[in-house]
Every structure is written in structure tokens, then in C-alpha cells.
A and B are shown apart, each in its own frame.
Chain A
Amino acid sequence: MRQRTTSGIVRPSGPGAVLLRGLLFAVLALFCLYYLVPLFVMISTSLKSLEEIRAGTFLSPPRAVTFEAWGKAWNAACVGVRCDGLEPYVWNSVLMTVPAVAISTILGALNGYALTKWRFPGADIIFALILFGAFIPFQVILLPMARTLGQLGLAGTVPGLILVHTVYGLAFTTLFFRNFFVGVSDGIMQAAKVDGAGFFGIFFGIVLPMSLPAIVVTVIWQFTQIWNDFLFGVAFTVGDSNPVTVALNNVVNTSTGVKEYNVDMAAAIIAGLPTLLVYVVAGAYFVRGLSAGAVKG
């Protein structure tokens, strides 16, 4: 509910200023174009038929729009030897991403809350150790994690992948929430304690409802990371339990038959669409939460 506090800062005027301004917008427009052209190519290619792709150029818009390639990518494209399209793998990804995001976000919130509002000896050291997890290159843990999953009987399964993503997401989710809660006044905590609430009473009753911006940022971050992950997906799942990123790779990198660019493009967009959707839905919060965290962290 912020009001604008200025109605316009005085700017220099005159032909020089106008020229500079024009130049500025021209450069910005160029950058936009550079950024958006690949997206345009993907969408337009996915809407063309194979004949049109062979006949026309990469950049030309589709003459006859067809959703055939999208249909094929969804339920008929061949992933390895199985030709059911991306659909089952999208569901794999959903089944993996939703619980992994939810669990890592809730645990991160609890961690951040305990680390800032229920200070205990060594809290800073523990936070530093958790933070260290954010800097571990994930290739390093592939082998030990594969062994761990094997011992747990989760090798090659979606629950196994959920566990991996939850564990490695904790570093970031804890960081986000810790930085948010540092800015929450201790007076509120004291008031709640005097009001008789305990650790979880304050967490669920007071603190969690306040942290909506942090939750949104964390959910977007985790969703993007986990949905787009390829490394863990390819390393810890097999065939039918592959997430969509791995399946997409298998569609595109198939070495048999004709290269169906339109299907490849449609498949890639399908695989990327959910993260785009999350961004758009929660975009406003994303920016707000990031800047709030930056000031208070």
C-alpha cells in the first residue's frame, strides 16, 4: 500500500537530452529483440509443419498454423523406445517437484525461524554450515548419494529424487527465510511469548503468515531449480521414473528417423512452461520479496 512520494523529478530538456533518450530506448529495444528472438523462433517453429520448416527460413512466421507438433510432443513422441510423448514424464516431474518444494520450503522456514528467533549457542556456526551446502557442486555428491539412495531402497524412484532435492534445497530455503526473519521485530516474538504461545504456536500463528513474501520467493526459486534439474534426474532415475527434463533430452537426442524440429520445440516449451507459469503468477511477489530480503539481510 505504498503511495508515490514524488510526482516527477525534474529532468534536463533540450535537443541533446531528447537525442540521448532516443538512443537509450533504441539500445534497450535492441537488447529486448536479442532476448526475445529465440523464444519467437521456438514458438513459431513449433506451430509449423515439417514441410514448411524445410521450405522456409528459421525466422519466418508460420504460414499455416498447426498444433500437430504439440499434440505429438504431448502424447506420441518417442522417448527412447516408448512412444507415449512427454505426458507421463510431466506427471513424474509434478509428483517430484510439488512435494520437494513443499517440504524444503517448510523446513527452510522452520530453520530460519529457529536460527533467528530462538537463538541458541552455536546458531551462527550451524547457519554457516547450512549455507556451505549452497556452494557444493552437485557432481561431487552424485556417487555418495547414489549409494545412500540404494541403501534406503529409493534408488531409481521418484521419492528418492524428492529426498535428494529436499536435502540440497535446504541450504537456499534456510538462507531465504533466515534473512527474512532477521528483519522481523523481536518485540513481536516477546509479545507472543507473553501472550502464552510456544515455539510452534508462534511459528504457525504469527510468523508464517507474516512471511508470505519469503514463501513466494522460496517457492519460485525451488520450483525452478527442481523442475529444471537434469543432473539428479538423469543420475538417480531410470526409464519410466525420469523427470520431464531427462525425457526431453531423450526426445531431442534421438538418433533414428527424421529430425522433427517442430516436435522438439513444442516439447521444450512444454517442459519449460510450468516454471514460466509460476513466475507469471507470483512474479510481483518475487521482486518484492527479493528486495525486502536484500535490505534486511
Chain B
Amino acid sequence: MAEGIRLQSVRKFFGANEVIKGIDLEIEPGEFVVLVGPSGCGKSTLLNLIAGLETLSGGDVFIGDEKVNTHPPRDRDIAMVFQSYALYPTKTVRQNITFGMETRRIPKARQEEAVTEFTRLLQIDRLLDRKPGQLSGGQRQRVAMGRALVRNPAVFLFDEPLSNLDAKLRIEMRTEIKKLHQRLGKTVVYVTHDQIEAMTLATRIAVMDNGHIRQVADPGTIYENPADLFVAGFMGSPPMNMIRGRLLRDGGLRVAPDGDEDGLLFPLPEDEAERIAAPEGHKVVLGLRPETIFAAGTELPGPDRYIFERRVEVVEPTGPDTMIVFQIGGQDGIARVRPEDARATGTPFSFEVDMGKAKLFDAATGKRL
């Protein structure tokens, strides 16, 4: 049975230091919610509050319909996977997996069934008699997941489970976690600092910063419609170009970049122009994702394109794409072009930007306009 989770103005202090500053979040049964944010934003603390490994300083936590504020972890019907795996070093894989069932006095036959089912699923059924010290990182990760799965809890909590794995294994396990979720349909709360993990796994992402949730939405919305500069800057790699400038109203709505002396004026699409009420001269930040800037004429023509010429400052090939760094009024920008369109450093380059995907933020508040 998957259960939902409800957080109501949850707060946590460590001493005088407030690390969770009143968080409200509702998680539907069966959802895969990823808490993402930079180090120290409180995401792991929030997960520990849900798990009962930390005591609430304020607010309420509900799992299903039950208020679990004062329930110890074992009474919350949760299972957790830790970053360090936290396997019991003196126990075999089998004993690691069954420890939770032993403490709950589940009959041996039931334990055996669960072990067989989930170790097969995770392909660790041959490792049952080994100790954690004899396993590779990926195998330990699977054992840690097996230990969580056999309990058949209502909610799974993952605390950066993949960050100790090497890059290749991480991608493999990511896919596997997603498959598991689709197969088991349990509620998952997953903490990571890796925005790609967040994008690929989540049904909804909660972007956290400094004890607050900045935005909760599905991955597409988070990426395409970030609520503020923080979310826009955190999601995406390479990060979104943030060009500071002023608003110009001369019939349409345009952005004049600060410090630019070449008369660049980025025109915003008409519907944006009608929607945005900020006055002329208003300080703004123009957000342009690197992939919306490409070599002029290399994409099918569309509305709201703007072509400008800059010098190539740095060329960074990544394989499938090449990043070109340019400057606008002393601010760095990155464009993502096809490798064959790249030019040598120092040569002039004609960029085309899809202004239909541009995002405009208020420079003072950081909020989306």
C-alpha cells in the first residue's frame, strides 16, 4: 500500500540555527518526489524529519492519514536507503536484508519468500552469503535497496543513494530505480544534489534553497518555467545564461544588456510583451538556456528569432555538442552548437537565439516576470 505524505509548516532548528524554515508539501500516494538543492539547503534534514531520525521543531508530518510527529522511525512504515549504504559490516547480505524482519518478528517462511523475490529482482541472489566488505560499490547499493524493499513499506526514502557510485554505474542504477518505482508503485521521496538525477527520476521536483522550497513542479515545468533565478540557475547544465539588462519599450518589449556598447537589443515575443507590466528602464535578468542559442541559420526558421554577432572566446567540445563562450557587455554567455558549426577562438560568430524560450526575471527580487 502506497501512502501519501503531508508536511505542514515544518520547521527544524539546530540550536539557534533554523535549517528548515516552514515547509508545506503534499505528496500523493505513488509519487516520486525528488528534493534537490545545493549542499546545506536542508534537503537531507527534511528527509530525516519525514523518517523520524530528527525531531520536529515545529509543524506536522503526516504519513497517510496518520500524524507521525512523535512516532519513532520503526513505527512510520518507511524504509530508507542511505548515501553510505550503512550496511551492517558483520552480517552477511542475507542477514543484512532480514534484520528488519527479524526485529519485527516476521515468520521465517515469509522472510525467505521476500528475500528470494527481491534479491532476484535486484540480481544479488548469488551474493547472499557474502559480507558487505566483499562487495563492490554497485552491489552494496543493491543490497541497501534490497534491505529497504523487503520490508514492503508504504514509503521509500532515498538519501543521495547514488552519489558514492562512479558515473557509469550511477546512470545504470538510476534507470533501475526508475524501473523499480514503476513496477512497485510506492511513494518515494528522493534527495539528491544532482539536477540530472532529479530531472530523470522525478514525477515532481521540489527545488530547495536555504531551508525553503523554491518551486515544486514536474520536471518539464521546473526546466521550462522556473519560478525564480535560483531554480533557473540550479537546473540545467551548462547553466542558463543570465544576462543583466534594462527593459526597453519601443513598440515591442526589448532587453538592453548592461555594459553592451554594440547596440544589442533582445526582443521578447509579443505575448510576453503584453503580459509583462514592468515599466521601461526596469532592471531585469534575461535567462537564455545554452541550447536556445545556436549558429545562425542552422535550425529551421521560426518566430521570435534574434541574430547577433559576437567573438568566440572559448570553445569547449563535449562530444555531441560544442559549447561556445562569448561575451555580452562583459558578461559571459554560453551557446550550445553542433560540433561542425564551431569556429576557432577569436573569430566572429553569428549566433541565433530562440527568444520564444527566453525567460525574464526581476533583477531585484529574482522572481520570474
A interface with B by C-beta (< 8 Å): 1, 185, 187-188, 190-197, 201, 205-206, 209-210
Closest residue of chain A to B75, judged by CB? A196
Given contacts A185-B84, A191-B87, A196-B103, list 18 more A-B pairs with CB under 8 A. Answer: A1-B133, A187-B84, A188-B86, A188-B89, A190-B53, A190-B80, A191-B86, A193-B73, A194-B73, A194-B74, A194-B78, A194-B80, A195-B100, A195-B103, A206-B99, A209-B91, A210-B88, A210-B90
What's the nearest-Cβ distance from chain A to residue B148, in Å? 8
B79 at the interface (CB under 8 A from A): yes
B82 at the interface (CB under 8 A from A): yes
Closest residue of chain A to B85, judged by CB? A187
Q: Tell me, in angstroms, the Cα distance from A187 to B84 when the chains sit together.
A: 7
State which of A192, A194, A205 has its C-beta within 8 Å of the C-beta of B79.
Answer: A194
Q: Tell me, in angstroms, the Cα distance from A1 to B133 when the chains sit together.
A: 9
Q: Which residues of B contact A1 (CB under 8 A)?
A: 133
**How many A-B pairs fall under 8 Å by CB?**
65
Asked if A190 contacts B86 (CB within 8 A), the reply is: yes
Closest residue of chain B to A193, judged by CB? B73
State which of B74, B88, B89, B90 has its C-beta within 8 Å of the C-beta of A193.
Answer: B74
Closest residue of chain A to B74, judged by CB? A196
Q: Tell me, in angstroms, the Cα distance from A187 to B147 when the chains sit together.
A: 14
Asked if A190 contacts B99 (CB within 8 A), the reply is: no
B104 at the interface (CB under 8 A from A): yes
B83 at the interface (CB under 8 A from A): yes
Asked if B99 contacts A185 (CB within 8 A), the reply is: no
Question: CB within 8 Å of A: which of B44-100?
Answer: 48, 51, 53, 72-74, 78-80, 82-91, 99-100
Q: Tell me, in angstroms, the Cα distance from A188 to B79 when the chains sit together.
A: 13
Q: Which residues of B contact A188 (CB under 8 A)?
A: 86-89
Q: Which residues of B contact A205 (CB under 8 A)?
A: 99, 103
Known: A193-B53, A196-B103. A185 touches B74 (CB 8 A): no
State which of A187, A195, A209, A210 has its C-beta within 8 Å of the C-beta of B74.
Answer: A195
Q: Tell me, in angstroms, the Cα distance from A36 to B73 when the chains sit together.
A: 58
What's the nearest-Cβ distance from chain B to residue A232, in Å? 36
Closest residue of chain A to B133, judged by CB? A1
Q: Which residues of A contact B91 (CB under 8 A)?
A: 206, 209
Number of B residues whose C-beta is below 8 Å from A?
26
Known: A1-B133, A201-B103, A205-B99. A192 touches B84 (CB 8 A): no
Q: Tell me, in angstroms, the Cα distance from A201 to B79 when the chains sit together.
A: 18
B interface with A by C-beta (< 8 Å): 48, 51, 53, 72-74, 78-80, 82-91, 99-100, 103-104, 133, 147, 151
Q: Which residues of A contact B80 (CB under 8 A)?
A: 190-191, 194
Q: Which residues of B contact A194 (CB under 8 A)?
A: 51, 53, 73-74, 78-80, 100
Asked if A190 contacts B74 (CB within 8 A), the reply is: no
Q: Which residues of B contact A192 (CB under 8 A)?
A: 88, 99
Q: Which residues of B contact A185 (CB under 8 A)?
A: 84, 86
Q: Tell me, in angstroms, the Cα distance from A19 to B136 when the chains sit together.
A: 47
Q: Tell me, in angstroms, the Cα distance from A206 to B78 when the chains sit together.
A: 20
What's the nearest-Cβ distance from chain B to residue A277, in Å? 27
Q: Tell me, in angstroms, the Cα distance from A210 to B73 when the chains sit together.
A: 23
Q: Tell me, in angstroms, the Cα distance from A201 to B53 when the chains sit together.
A: 17
Q: Tell me, in angstroms, the Cα distance from A185 to B85 when the chains sit together.
A: 10
What's the nearest-Cβ distance from chain B to residue A165, in Å? 29
Asked if B133 contacts A195 (CB within 8 A), the reply is: no
What's the nearest-Cβ distance from chain B to residue A124, in Å? 15
Q: Which residues of A contact B87 (CB under 8 A)?
A: 188, 191
Q: Which 4 A-B pairs have the closest CB atoms?
A: A187-B86, A195-B100, A196-B74, A191-B86
Known: A1-B133, A185-B84, A190-B53. A197 touches B72 (CB 8 A): no
Q: Which residues of B contact A195 (CB under 8 A)?
A: 74, 99-100, 103, 147, 151
Q: Tell me, in angstroms, the Cα distance from A205 to B95 when the chains sit together.
A: 11
Asked if A197 contacts B99 (CB within 8 A), the reply is: yes
What's the nearest-Cβ distance from chain B to residue A138, in Å? 36
Most chain A C-beta atoms within 10 Å of own C-beta, residue among B83, B87, B89: B89
Q: List 5 A-B contacts (CB under 8 A).
A: A190-B51, A193-B53, A195-B99, A196-B73, A210-B90
Q: Which residues of A contact B90 (CB under 8 A)?
A: 206, 209-210
Asked if B84 contacts A206 (CB within 8 A), the reply is: no
Closest residue of chain A to B105, judged by CB? A196
Q: Tell me, in angstroms, the Cα distance from A192 to B72 when the chains sit together.
A: 12
Q: Tell me, in angstroms, the Cα distance from A205 to B91 when the chains sit together.
A: 9
Q: Which residues of A contact B53 (CB under 8 A)?
A: 190, 193-194
Q: Which residues of A contact B104 (CB under 8 A)?
A: 196
Closest residue of chain A to B48, judged by CB? A190
Q: Tell me, in angstroms, the Cα distance from A247 to B156 when the chains sit together.
A: 65
Q: Tell me, in angstroms, the Cα distance from A192 to B91 when the chains sit together.
A: 12
Most chain A C-beta atoms within 10 Å of own C-beta, residue among B79, B88, B89, B104: B88
Q: Which residues of B contact A190 (CB under 8 A)?
A: 48, 51, 53, 73, 80, 82, 86
Asked if A187 contacts B82 (CB within 8 A), the reply is: yes
Asked if A193 contacts B72 (CB within 8 A), the reply is: yes
Asked if B88 contacts A187 (CB within 8 A), the reply is: no
Closest residue of chain B to A208, judged by CB? B90
What's the nearest-Cβ distance from chain B to residue A200, in Å? 11
